[in-house]
Amino acid sequence: MRRSPRVRGFLVSTVALALTFGFGMLTAGPAHGQSAPGQIPDGYLLLTSNGGVFDFGVQFNGAPASDPARCAPAPLPGRAPQPNGTCGSIAVTPGGGGYWVLNSVTGAIYPYGRAGSFSSPKTRFAGTSPEFLPVMRQIVSSADGKGYWVYEVGASDTGTVDHYGDAAFFGDTTTLVRQHRVVAFNGRPVGMAATPDGKGYWEVYSDGGVFAFGSARFLGSMAARPLAATIVGIAGSATGKGYWLVASDGGVFAFGDARFAGSRAGLPHAPIIGLARDPVGPGYWLASNNGQIFTFGGAQFGGTLSMKGGHGQVSSIGVRSNNPIP
For 29-77, the pLDDT digits (tens) are 323 333 333 444 589 999 999 999 999 999 999 999 999 999 998 666 6
Give CA–CA dist 163/90, Å, rounded: 16
Predicted confidence (pLDDT) per residue in 176-188, tens digit: 999 988 878 999 9
Q: What is the DSSP letter of 214?
A: E
Q: What is the pLDDT of residue 302?
A: 95
Q: What is the mean pLDDT of residues 74-89?
A: 79
Who has greater pLDDT, 320 or 86?
Answer: 86
Full-model pTM: 0.86
Q: Residue 17: what residue type?
A: L
Q: What is the pLDDT of residue 129?
A: 85
Q: Which domains, from first to last, does the chain contain?
A: 44-319 (2.120.10.30)
Q: What is the pLDDT of residue 167?
A: 98
Q: What is the pLDDT of residue 9?
A: 32
Contacts of 253 (CB under 8 A, 6+ apart): 19, 208, 222, 244, 245, 246, 247, 260
- Asked whether the beta carbons of 314 and 86 are under 8 A apart, the reply is no
Predicted confidence (pLDDT) per residue in 171-228, tens digit: 999 999 999 888 789 999 999 999 999 999 999 999 999 999 999 999 999 999 999 9
**What strands lie across the sheet with 189-194, from one edge to the other?**
189-194, 200-205, 210-214
Give CA–CA dist 39/318, Å, rounded: 18
